[in-house]
Amino acid sequence: MRDSTQEITIHTRAVGDTAIIYASDYLNKLSGEKIERECQRQFDSGRRTLIINFRDTELINSIGVSILVGLIDAAEQATARLIFSDLNSNTANLFEMLGLTRHVSLAANEDEALARIAPPGDPAVSTA
């Protein structure tokens, strides 16, 4: 797990009109707020589909969950689509138990998330 004094950097990449945001290994107040700011920046720039990739996330505390609930609300307000990808089984079970999966799609990995948003036959998104 990350040392709390270490700088947290949130990485983002664009695929077409979609932004993929990579969560850190520990989703707490500090890292959650950075993800929240990045999501808002993406909404403000006109993106209407965001994928949050949890491949490196080992632990999410209650404040991190609360921030994710706020992101789901922000996406709904922005009429944007939010997909969570690459969750480990514990995190997927937690999100199911908390009811987050009623408001956000879960994808096994980034390719699956991208395939869900691509129009059928769209060559712009490769799932290979």
- Put simply, whether the predicted model's pTM sits higher than 0.85 gets the answer yes
* Amino acid, single-letter form, for residue 111: D
Task: Give the separation between CA 60 and CA 29, rounded to whole angstroms.
Answer: 10
8 three-state secondary structure: coil
Per-residue pLDDT of the chain (128 residues; tens, 9 = 90+): 444 546 788 999 999 999 999 999 999 999 999 999 999 999 999 999 999 999 999 999 999 999 999 999 999 999 999 999 999 999 999 999 999 999 999 999 999 999 999 766 555 544 43
Name every residue whose Cβ is closer than 8 Å to that of residue 92 and which is 6 or more positions away in sequence: 106
Q: What pLDDT does 64 receive?
A: 97
Q: What pLDDT does 127 receive?
A: 43
Domains of the chain: 11-115 (3.30.750.24)
Q: Is the separation of the CB atoms in 58 and 26 below 8 Å?
A: yes
Q: Is the dihedral of CA 68, 73, 77, 83 positive or negative?
A: positive
